[in-house]
A = this chain, B = another copy of it.
Amino acid sequence: MRIVTVGREFGSGGREVGKRLADELGFHYYDKEIITEIAKRTQLDENYVETKLEKGLDSNFHITYSHTFMYPYSPMQNDIKILISERQIIKELAAAGRDFVIVGRNADILLAEYKPFNIFVYADSDSKVARCRARADASEKLSDRELKKQIRKIDSNRAKHRELLTNSKWGSKEAYHLCVNTTNITIKDIIPVIGAYASTWFEKHGL
C-alpha cells in the first residue's frame, strides 16, 4: 500500500496539491468522508467539525489538554472528541489497504508505520494571501493584514496540535521527503513532476 501525506501552510494550496496528486497517481483521496465519519461518531454537526479542523482547534487547546482529564466536562471536550475520532478513522482507512493521498491531520505521524511519502507545501506570505482571496467567498472582508494574522494563527494552532503527537516540529523540513514552495507557481503545472517523484520514491523503497 502506498500513502502520500501532504502537510501544508494555510493558503499554500496544499489541498489542491493533494487532490490533484491523487488524480495523477490514481490513488484515493480521503478528505470529506473523514469529516462525515467524525461527525457521525461524535454526534457533532458536520460543518462544525469541518470548520474546527480546517481553522485549527482552539489555540489554548494544548494547554488545557491535560487539565481536561481532571475536568472532563470542560469546553474543550468536543475538540478532544474530534481529534480522537479523527485519529481512529485515519488508522482504519489505512488498515483498509487502498493507496491514498491525505492532506493535513498529522497523517505522516499517525501512519508512520506504513512508510508514507511525506510532502510539505509552503509559500511566502503574499502568495498565501492571494490564494486565500482567490478561493474565499465575496463576503470575506478582511484586510491583507488581518488575513495574514489569521493565517499565522491557523498555522500556529496546527503546530500546537502536532506537538501533542510528536517532538518533530510542524513544517520543519526534516520530517518530510520533499518540501515544495508554491510561491508564483500554478499548482497543476507541478503535479506531474511531484507525482513522478512520489512514484520513484515508492518504487525504490519497494512499495
Chain A residues within CB distance 8 Å of chain B: 120, 122, 124, 171, 173-174, 176-181, 183-186, 189-190, 192-194, 196-197, 200-201, 204-205
Identify 6 new A-B residue pairs, CB closer than 8 A, beyond the known A178-B178, A178-B180. Answer: A173-B173, A173-B179, A179-B179, A184-B205, A193-B193, A194-B197
Among B120, B122, B193, point to the contact of A197 (Cβ < 8 A): B193
Given known A193-B193, A204-B185, A205-B184, contact A124–B178 (CB-CB < 8 A): no
Q: Report the nearest B residue to A175, measured CB to CB.
A: B181
CA distance A176 to B123 in the complex (A): 10
A-B contact pairs, 16 of them (CB 8 A): A122-B173, A171-B173, A173-B179, A174-B181, A177-B183, A178-B180, A179-B179, A184-B205, A189-B200, A189-B204, A190-B197, A190-B200, A192-B196, A193-B196, A193-B200, A197-B197
> Inside 8 A of A174's CB, which chain B residues have their CB?
122, 124, 181
CA distance A119 to B190 in the complex (A): 15
Residues of chain B lying within 8 A (CB to CB) of residue A196 = 192-193, 196
Give Cα A192–Cα B193 distance, bound, in whole angstroms: 9
Measured CB to CB, the closest approach of chain B to A53, in angstroms, equals: 24
